[in-house]
Structure 1
Amino acid sequence: MNNRLEQQIERIKRADTLEQYDTQVQKLNLLLKESDYPLEVCQEIQRKQKYVKNIFSDEANREKMLEAKEKLLQYLEKLQQSESGKEDVEKIVLYLKNFYLFLEALTESIPDRRSKLQRLKLQEIKIQNEYDLQHLLYAVLKPFVPEIRKEVSEDSGVGTVRTDFKIEELDLAIEAKCTRESIGQKKLTEEIEADIIHYQEKNILFYVYDKEKMIKDKQNYEKQFNRQYGDKNVRMIVQQPVIL
């Protein structure tokens, strides 16, 4: 939510008369339109802000206005929280897009000659399967998001669903996948689509390490999944080994 909208919400909070409230919600509606908010969000905000005026009682009008104001502010607060959560999810997406830089720095940089770390030993660190990927992703994410939990099992109502990583504060599930020779792109896609259905979290992030380079069009594959699935926000990162 941009600063202008946040400032306008503060003005609505301070509105104490019908005239002040009506003026500020009109300005809010204009700002929402300028900010390209989804139509359903704008319509819901307009429903919350309305109140029926009584031509015979100013006192009754003020009571109705205050009730509408409270409902409107409650909805706007939830909207702010939701957008703040999405911003935090995007920070994690950006962070994990640079995960491969961590691997390169760890395994390919030459340690100082006084270091006890041996370059040949570091070069032995390779991602061979999903368990390797999960271990390294957890090590990278833990300092960035200390509250992250791994291998979380929950009852979905039709069976147990195991999540590789979960961040409850963001209602975020993170699934790590590593391609292998025995699985094709079609099967990988089916697994991802099934995970989207089964996971209950509102935010789902897939990190696919395409070790076998089976995904021929990485950008379009990411684009295929980077969207809303009903009320679920899905993000996809595909990383392929770089050989120069």
Structure 2
Amino acid sequence: MAKVTLKKDTNTAVQEISHKLDDLDKLIDIYGKKKEILTEFENWRNDVKRTLDGNFYDQSISRDFLIETKVLPNKFSDTENVKKIDEALYKGKSYLRNLNTDIQLDKYLPRVNHDSIEKTTAVAIIRKILRNFYKHIKAMYQDEVHGNGKIKKEDLDKIKIGNEYDVQRILYSLIRPIFPNARLEVADDAGYNSVRYDIALHEYGIVIEVKCTRPTMTERKLTEELGADSFHYKADHLFLFIFDKEKLIENPDVFAKSFQRQKADFGKELETVVVQEITF
């Protein structure tokens, strides 16, 4: 395995993983005393995944951890479930202990990245891209082109946003030059099922969910979809980006404000940006 994989210094990585081991010891202490142990274990697994993704550029480390500690409950046998959870608890402890040992033996070395961007700056950049999305649409597709250019206005006029996949593609093309590790349509384990993130920046814990309104959609339906997404998605900072093509949102400012949440209250920062289509 390649050595240059750590995002953070060795001591920080070992310390953060050790904290997760401490959390696991607390689970083991209450094991057998609480019926909710499986739910709490799944929450711990997802928390560890975020920690590992925050420390390693190679995301196969967190994927291997999830595979190693996966529990598939048997609804017909409590005895079998007890055995499976017991094995997963100790596999998790063994995996993280071995990982810390490997880090201390310099099997994983810190990466020197002179182009790194601090998390608060990354959030600010994403926010600015989202809020100014339509300025890109206007400058790229709607403004007059230079007479000597090979790209002609009639060709650009053929490009129209039809649905959220179109919005997602354009948005991703704006984000990736600044954040090369950004990923498109990322599947993640939410514990009881899988979710798919439209755009994810794992190194910053940022997820962007893209919506584009359609003729058959109502504001109430949009609200329901956003509510489900904001609840299930695992992220430190979740952006809900709504391209209101149909202009069905009566008051975009009030609507966006209703989907703002603080991490202390919601477990993650939730920020919503609404952009309504403008025709020039």
TM-score, with length taken from structure 2: 0.55
The question of whether the paired residues in 1 share the 8 Å contact of 2:199 and 2:209 is answered with yes
Matched to 1:197, the amino acid is F
Percent pairwise identity: 35
CA shift at 1:200, angstroms? 1.1
Residues 217-243 of structure 1: CA distance to partner in whole angstroms, max 9, x if unpaired?
A: 011011111222522100111000124
Residues 124-181 of structure 1: CA distance to partner in whole angstroms, max 9, x if unpaired?
A: 1111101111111111111122111001001111111000000011101101100011
Q: Which residue of 2 aligns with 1:230?
A: 266
Residues 51-109 of structure 1: CA distance to partner in whole angstroms, max 9, x if unpaired?
A: xxxxxxxxxxxxxxxxxxxxxxxxxxxxxxxxx52442122112221111011011122
Taking the aligned partners of 2:122 and 2:139, their CA distance within structure 1 comes to: 25
SS of alignment partner, residue 197 of structure 1: helix
* Structure with greater proportional helix content: 1
Taking the aligned partners of 1:183 and 1:176, their CA distance within structure 2 comes to: 15
Taking the aligned partners of 1:97 and 1:173, their CA distance within structure 2 comes to: 16
Matches within 5 A, 1:1-244: 85-228=119-262, 229-243=265-279
Matched to 1:225, the amino acid is F
Runs of 4+, deviation exceeding 4 Å: none
- Greater relative contact order: 1 or 2 (C-alpha under 8 angstroms, separation 6 or more)? 2
The question of whether the paired residues in 1 share the 8 Å contact of 2:129 and 2:174 is answered with no
Taking the aligned partners of 1:158 and 1:122, their CA distance within structure 2 comes to: 44
Taking the aligned partners of 1:173 and 1:165, their CA distance within structure 2 comes to: 6
Taking the aligned partners of 1:241 and 1:97, their CA distance within structure 2 comes to: 13
SS of alignment partner, residue 144 of structure 1: coil
- Tell me the number of residue pairs that the alignment of Structure 1 and Structure 2 aligns: 161
CA RMSD for the aligned pairs?
A: 1.4
Gaps of 5+ in 2: 1-117
Matched to 2:206, the amino acid is L
Taking the aligned partners of 2:157 and 2:175, their CA distance within structure 1 comes to: 21
SS of alignment partner, residue 177 of structure 2: helix
SS of alignment partner, residue 150 of structure 1: strand
Taking the aligned partners of 2:156 and 2:142, their CA distance within structure 1 comes to: 8
Matched to 2:256, the amino acid is E
TM-score, with length taken from structure 1: 0.63
Matched to 1:215, the amino acid is I
Gaps of 5+ in 1: 1-83
